[in-house]
Structure 1
Amino acid sequence: MDLSKIRQLFCGSEPIQPNVVDEFVTRFEPFGLSSTALIPCYGLAEATLFVAGKRAGRQVRVDGGVVSCGVPAAGHEVRIVDPESGNPCPDGEVGEIQVRGPNVAAGYFHDSEATEAAFRAGPHRDALRTGDLGCLRDGELFVTGRISGLIVVAGRNLHPQDVEATANTCHPAVFRSVAFSVPGASGEDLVVVAERRVTTGLADARAAITAAVTAAHGVRPRDVEFVGIGRIPRTTSGKLRRAEARRRYLEAAG
């Protein structure tokens, strides 16, 4: 297999983990794939997909454990604002990602209320509120999570993607995971559901997830459940359906 002719491989849709980038490059470099071929990028349907991406020929940048999604496409503006006040955030500070550009849609079809909420942001009411969280560093976009997906447990704000990344890499029995919150005795509790590669030794895997998440995020999961591969609900484009996973968990718990 000769991959030396491949110049660009675009990757997006889900948060891109640094260890996945490293493993992919290590696996395919022996077949001629250039380490600069991977193009982490960011986009969304409301912007007819593409918003920002890594410049070709450069190494993937990782800062603070987050993979850079590169620079905005030509003619586009990406800004980071406080999601409550709408005030611009300084370089490196996490806030809501807003997008302006020629490929941003005019609004949602026959839904003026949703259009007003999402497409009329900014001082000129022409920016798209993406609902995504991130920051700009040296002109590059780093995506950290979703506003609506924040998990608030014991006064801590957790991005589910961060918890999932910890769970996914702490034990070889874990294939992928999903994290969400459920009602607890005094607020919200954290739950992790993981797809398992094996059917034995899961007690050790459960203990590893609990210890790793507690150490990395300062919150101990109330429960760690295992399901078979393919059982965590995902969209047709492969994104985790956290709300549906939460609904199934609560339904099973009675």
Structure 2
Amino acid sequence: MSTTDRAHDGSCQTLAAQLSRRARESPDARAFTYLDGGEEVGGTLSFAELEQRARSVGAALRGAEGERALLLYPPGLDFVVAFFGCLYAGVVAIPAYPPDPGRLERTLPRLRAIAANARATIALGTEQVCLAAQALRPFAPELADARWIATDTLSEVSDAIEPAPLRRGSELAFLQYTSGSTRAPRGVMITHANIADNAAAVARVTGLHEGATTVSWLPLYHDMGLMNGVLMAVHAGCHSVLMSPVDFLRKPSRWLAAISRYRAMMSGAPSFAYELCARRVRDEERRGLDLACWSVAYNGAEPVRASALGRFADAFASCGFRPEAFAPAYGLAESTVYVASRTLAGKPRVSMFDAHALADGRVEIASTNARATTLVSHGIAPAHWDLRIVDAVTYEERSEGRVGEIWVHGPSVGAGYWADEEATAETFSARIADGRVSNGPFLRTGDLGFRHDGELYITGRIKDVIVVRGACHHPQDIEQTVESSHRAVRPGCIAAFSIELGDEERIVVVAELEKDVTPADAGAVVAAAQDAVIAQHELAVHEVVCVRAGTIPKTSSGKIQRDACRCAFLAATLERLEAP
């Protein structure tokens, strides 16, 4: 019986049981490698070593089955050990990130919100994190009563806990808190059946297999980083090479060097990372790279931009990178992570659609570039899932060629939001208005898209849509236009949103400028952005605000928080770069 079949019949093999099997059958096979500074090996774990350490953590958690445990770790292998320790003990893991002492005003509120919502009774971390947390107690009362366990100080114990090989598929495995791009984070309840189905779907579409190698710098507390950096290593029996997101951002070539060095077949990131590599990896760094091994370059977590893919492919063609490796993917935490991706045959499909038709909810191929919106196909969902395009107001299904909300039904869809019955009913229990009770329940993704030639295209988020004179405009389209309007604008660092002025909706754009740009250049950027938006979208921009790099708020996964940016604009707290 396959993993997916077990998920359907009410029971499934847990990842903890899969780890134990791999530890028996391939004890010395390398499971994880962590690169200190993104370059030097800082730690490794075989499957047997991971199992032994995870069972020791499980022993420390004995008697806490069903309780919730925050996982507060800096990048490294201690997180991996703690996650599997929770699975062994039947404790619900909550991947999070320890607050940054230098940015408490931005990082502590999210952790407090998660701790309060989850009612976590346990906090796992390194000894350093646990000691530092004591100073935070006056500022985070939600953590005051938690039982803190420094897992890196635990010794191997003779009575280490044994994993339960089978659990009901509906049993809760972990809480994945959403990134909160349009609202406060919510804890998605991910079950053992969800993990089994989603991991199997990822393995099928990517061809990931036992003995293969993957590389990831994505945060492990984020759904895409957790699945592709941690869970797939045990599910598929492959070797996962990990590094810190900060080490990648400081020197993007480290990511590509790791892929080349370890001959990774799969790695990926949001669009901004491909853009960053194309811009910042120097010629001398490229000369030492061999990327011919990289057969699955997934791209997700934010809008997939054709321009970023093209620039990256051109920049690294001499290193053996093939554009056929690109695998644009669509997913969200509410569906464990993965929903759809293209099949790995040929280059990703890129199409140009009429921008005005899309604003009216229709899908038409553009007749001229001036009126075009370029979109990348996200392929198809697994065959045993049900993906529909639905009118978000009437709940009627929309035919191919019409824009609507993406709804999903399938065994990867989570059990709902933790401790939020109202939001769970609203988001996870939708029914199509055709009178057939058998259709659903569906997950309402909140994302807008359409099918064209049978493949899925994403146009934006419902709550981010800008409505001007009755026409809908997606902020991503306006942001991409502004990005292309002037060399001083930082790619992927623009926020477009609307404000009410009198009785009208007006468009505001906030754009970060490159670090070497002076305030004197701001005037030219404003003029170029306004002209470009008028020419491309026939829209007048009420105000273009230029700000320094790092100003625009983003989620933990790098998504632009447009609502937070709107609030900062209205509160006049943005530090503007203006021409003298």
Determine if the TM-score, normalized by the shorter chain, exceeds 0.5. yes
Within-5 A mapping of 1:100-111: 100-111=409-420
1:88 to 392, 397, 402: 397
Check if 1:55 corresponds to 2:370. no
1:195 and 2:512 correspond: yes
Query: 205, 224, 234: which is aligned to 2:525?
Result: 205
Provide, for residues 78-99 of structure 1, a one-character-per-residue CA deviation record: whole Å limited to 9, x for no partner: 1101111111111121001000
> Tell me, what secondary structure is at the counterpart of 1:194?
strand
Question: Does residue 1:221 correspond to 2:544, yes or no?
Answer: no
Give the secondary structure class of the aligned counterpart of 1:92.
coil
Assess if the C-alpha contact under 8 Å between 2:409 and 2:440 holds in 1.
no
What SS does the aligned partner of 1:246 have? helix
| 2:564 alignment counterpart | 244
Q: Name the SS for the 1:36 alignment partner.
A: helix
SS at match of 1:16: coil
Match of 2:178 in 1: none
Contact 1:99 1:129 (8 Å CA) reproduced: yes
| Contact kept? 1:119, 1:125, Cα under 8 Å | no
Q: Match for 1:39: what amino acid?
A: A
Superposed, which structure 2 residues align to 1:17-36 within 5 Å? 17-36=305-324
CA distance in 1, matches of 2:503, 2:431: 38
Give the secondary structure class of the aligned counterpart of 1:9: strand
Q: Which has the higher helix share?
A: 2
Residue 572 of structure 2 aligns to a residue whose secondary structure is helix
Q: Among the aligned pairs, what percent are the same residue?
A: 41
Separation in 2 of the partners of 1:139 and 1:79? 11
Q: Which range moved further: 195-204 or 169-178?
A: 195-204
> How far has the Cα of 1:191 moved from its partner?
0.3
Q: Deviations over 1:90-137 (max 9, x none)?
A: 112100100011100121122111111111112434110111100011
Give the 3-state SS of the residue equivalent to 2:496 in structure 1. strand
Following the alignment from structure 2 to structure 1, what is the Cα–Cα distance between the partners of residues 314 and 474? 28
Q: Could you tell me the TM-score, scaled by structure 2's length? A: 0.43
User: Is 1:7 matched up with 2:327?
Assistant: no
Instruction: Give the Cα separation in 1 of the matches to 2:573 and 2:466.
Output: 20
Q: Secondary structure at the match of 2:413?
A: coil
Q: Which residue of 2 aligns with 1:173?
A: 488
Equivalent of residue 70 in structure 1, options 369, 379, 384 = 379
Q: Paired residue for 1:233?
A: 553
Q: Which residue of 1 aligns with 2:454?
A: 139
3-state DSSP of counterpart to 1:232: coil
Structure 1 residue 152, shift from structure 2 partner: 1.4
C-alpha distance in 2 between matches for 1:35 and 1:52: 19
CA contact (8 A) 2:416 2:424 kept: yes
Q: Distance in 1 between matches of 2:561 and 2:346?
A: 33
- The alpha carbon displacement at 1:178 in A equals 0.6
Q: Which amino acid aligns with 2:385?
A: H
CA distance in 1, matches of 2:385, 2:568: 40
Shift of 1:74: 3.7
Counterpart CA distance in 2 for 1:113 and 1:125 is 18
CA distance in 2: counterparts of 1:113 and 1:185, whole angstroms: 34
Give 1:249 deviation, angstroms: 0.7
**Structure 2: tracts of 5 or more residues without a match:** 1-288, 354-373, 433-438, 575-580
Deviation, structure 1 residue 3: 0.3
By relative contact order (CA 8 Å, sep 6+), the higher-ranking structure is 1
Amino acid at match of 2:430: A
The CA deviation at 1:38 is: 0.9
Alpha-carbon distance in 1 for matches of 2:542, 2:469: 12
Q: Distance in 2 between matches of 1:21 and 1:152?
A: 29
Q: 2:425 aligns with which of 113, 116, 119?
A: 116
Which among 460, 465, 490 is matched to residue 150 of structure 1?
465
The match for 2:326 is 38
Q: CA deviation at 1:253?
A: 7.1
Between the aligned partners of 1:30 and 1:229, the Cα distance in structure 2 is 31
Structure 1: runs of 5+ lacking an equivalent: none
Maintained 8 Å contact 1:154/1:219: no
Greater strand fraction, Structure 1 or Structure 2: 1
Alpha-carbon distance in structure 1 between the residues aligned to 2:573 and 2:476: 24
